[in-house]
């Protein structure tokens, strides 16, 4: 057994009730009978943090059993959800008052529902949030995936989260097998970056050290949107892992194709984690140039290389009243001055309009996904 506690993400299902514009996972769902079982979850190592995600995790009606099992090996659990299944979320939180819930809301009402493709999606997500606040659930937050269509909603959403005393998590568009997507891209980088810049300033103004570090994360998001190398090294697969609904253990969810270190259904944790196959994946991580900046890979790096974000925070807090300016990133200045073009920045991104996306499904599930797509078309 690995001595050190790890940071793990458990993808309990690839099924999803939403139809997000930046993610095609709903078109390539897992089959319920294939999805990770309690027996496989029992084999996971000790973790200091576990994120449960999907698809939409609350589609699984045995999620309470999964959380119960995971709490035996994890110090902290946070579930990412679109917030639609209010009753299931409330019921789970009643049983596990210590679990964290992050509801993704992609903008104010109209923007959210347009992006999410769920009728009443905003209403459902927001009312779930309100109910959790009313029941005084201690660890609730919401997150948004920043893109051209919702950049204007960042400030109002941050204000709502602040008033409700919640965490506000941000991400931006990524392409990978996990999202079954290769065409995501930010088109108006300066406009989107300016909205994030405002958020960075709001976060830096607060009295919460946690928010100051979130400001650094958002500074890194601007850097990512401009297609630059990560501000911090990526150490996924070294002390962090993802496991998919099939029991395949992977370094992360950002790779173009699914990278498999081993399978926990058929192997023990020690066997797969210490295998030559796992080491080969680690070698690929060392060479990876996708420069993702998602909380799953940035947060462990921010803890590991704490002196770098801490120094950034200190410098900005010591500026005493002087605002954060995204022009501290050289690429922002270069773009504005014409030293680098939009086409050059597009080429630095992971967007590939000609890519055939690998959805990471085994053959049997691919067959079922194709059948269900066909039956949707026939309706």
* Residues 207, 208, 211: CA angle, nearest 5 degrees: 120
Enter the DSSP assignment of 346.
Answer: H
* Alpha-carbon gap, residue 341 to 7, rounded angstroms: 38
- Applying CB under 6 A, the span of 128-136, 160-168, 193-201, 252-260 interacting with ligand SF4 comes to 252-260
Binding mask 116-145 for ligand SF4 (x = CB under 6 A): ------------------------------
Q: How many CA atoms lie within 13 A of 112 on its CB side?
A: 25
Residue 29 sits in the site that holds ligand SF4 (CB under 6 A)? no
User: With binding defined as CB under 6 A, does residue 234 bind ligand SF4?
Assistant: yes
Q: Is 304 in the site for ligand SF4 (CB under 6 A)?
A: no
Contact with ligand SF4 (CB under 6 A): which of 16, 78, 173, 232? 16
Site for ligand SF4 in 323-362 (CB under 6 A): none
Is 55 a binding residue for ligand SF4 by CB under 6 A? The answer is yes
| Strand duo 248-250 + 262-263: pairing | antiparallel
One residue of 6, 12, 23, 369 binding ligand SF4 per CB under 6 A: 23
Beta carbons within 8 Å of 23's beta carbon, 6+ residues apart: 179, 180, 181
Q: Please check whether residue 183 is in contact with residue 353, taking contact to mean a CB–CB distance below 8 angstroms.
A: yes
Token duo for residue 251: 């370094």
Q: Based on CB atoms, which residue is closest to ligand SF4, 197 or 235?
A: 235
Residue 102, helix vs strand vs coil: strand
3-state DSSP call for residue 239?
Answer: coil
Of 32-40, 250-258, 272-280, 356-364, the segment contacting ligand SF4 by CB under 6 A is 250-258
Total residues at the site for ligand SF4 (CB under 6 A)?
A: 22
Please identify which residue in 12, 18, 70, 173 interacts with ligand SF4, judged by CB under 6 A.
18
Least gap, CB of 18 to ligand SF4 (angstroms): 4
Member of 11, 25, 51, 101 binding ligand SF4 (CB under 6 A): 25
Of 302, 260, 298, whose CA–CA distance to 278 is shortest? Answer: 260
Nearest Cα residue to 66 out of 141, 10, 104: 10
- Among 251, 300, 309, 360, indicate the residue that binds ligand SF4 (CB under 6 A): 251
* Rounded Cα distance, 327 and 318, in Å: 18
| Least distance CB 256 / ligand SF4 (angstroms) | 8
**Does the footprint of ligand SF4 cover residue 236 (CB under 6 A)?**
yes
DSSP collapsed to 3 states, 123-181: HHHHHHHHHHHHCCCCCEEEEEEECCCCHHHHHHHHHHHHHCCCEEEEEECCCECCCCE
Tokens 């995501």 identify what position? Answer: 184
Name which of 146 and 204 has its Cβ closer to ligand SF4: 146
Judged by CB under 6 A, the residue of 151, 288, 302, 329 near ligand SF4 is: 288
Integer Cα distance of 21 and 332 in angstroms: 27
Q: Which of 89, 192, 252, 302 binds ligand SF4 (CB under 6 A)?
A: 252
Stretch that binds ligand SF4, among 165-173, 188-196, 248-256, 329-337 (CB under 6 A): 248-256
The answer to whether 89 contacts ligand SF4 (rule: CB under 6 A) is no
User: Would you say 212 or 242 has its CB closer to ligand SF4?
Assistant: 242
Give min distance, CB of 59 to ligand SF4, in A.
10
Residues 142 and 78: beta-carbon distance below 8 Å? no
250 binds ligand SF4 (CB under 6 A): no
Q: Are 141 and 102 in contact (CB under 8 A)?
A: yes
Bridge partners of residue 102, in order along the sequence:
80, 141
| 26 binding ligand SF4? (CB under 6 A) | yes
Name which of 8 and 254 has its Cβ closer to ligand SF4: 254
Q: Is 56 in the site for ligand SF4 (CB under 6 A)?
A: yes
Binding stretches for ligand SF4 (CB under 6 A) = 16, 18, 20, 23, 25-26, 54-56, 82, 234, 236, 251-252, 254-255, 285, 288, 290-292, 297
């Amino acid at each position: 057994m690995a001595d050190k506690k790890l940071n793990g993400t458990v993808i309990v299902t690839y099924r999803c009730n939403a139809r997000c514009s930046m993610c095609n996972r709903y078109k390539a769902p897992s089959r319920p009978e294939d999805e990770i079982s309690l027996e496989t979850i029992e084999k996971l190592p000790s973790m200091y943090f576990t994120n449960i995600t999907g698809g939409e995790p609350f589609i699984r009606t045995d999620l309470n059993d999964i959380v119960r099992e995971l709490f035996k090996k994890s110090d902290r659990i946070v579930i990412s959800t679109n917030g639609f299944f209010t009753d299931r979320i409330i019921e789970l939180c009643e049983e596990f008052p210590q679990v964290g819930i992050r509801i993704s809301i992609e903008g104010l009402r109209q923007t959210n529902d347009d992006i999410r493709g769920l009728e009443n999606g905003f209403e459902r997500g927001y009312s779930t949030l309100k109910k959790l606040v009313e029941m005084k659930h201690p660890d609730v937050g919401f997150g948004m995936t920043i893109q051209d269509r919702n950049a204007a909603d960042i400030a109002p959403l941050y204000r709502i989260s602040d008033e409700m005393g919640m965490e506000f998590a941000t991400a931006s568009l990524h392409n990978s097998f996990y999202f079954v997507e290769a065409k995501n891209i930010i088109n108006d980088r300066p406009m989107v970056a300016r909205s994030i810049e405002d958020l960075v300033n709001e976060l830096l103004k607060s009295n919460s050290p946690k928010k100051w570090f979130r400001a650094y994360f958002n500074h890194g998001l601007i850097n990512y949107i401009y297609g630059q190398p990560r501000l911090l090294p990526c150490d996924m697969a070294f002390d962090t892992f993802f496991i998919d609904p099939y029991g395949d253990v992977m370094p992360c969810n950002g790779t173009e194709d699914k990278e498999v270190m081993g399978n926990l259904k058929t192997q023990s944790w020690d066997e797969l984690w210490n295998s030559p196959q796992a080491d080969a994946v680690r070698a690929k991580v060392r060479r990876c140039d996708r420069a993702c900046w998602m909380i799953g890979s940035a947060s462990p790096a921010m803890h590991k290389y704490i002196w770098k974000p801490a120094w950034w925070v200190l410098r900005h807090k010591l500026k005493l009243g002087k605002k954060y300016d995204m022009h501290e990133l050289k690429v922002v200045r270069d773009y504005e001055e014409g030293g680098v073009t939009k086409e050059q920045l597009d080429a630095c991104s992971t967007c590939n309009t000609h890519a055939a996306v690998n959805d990471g499904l085994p053959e049997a599930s691919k067959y079922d996904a194709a059948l269900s797509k066909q039956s949707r078309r026939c309706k």
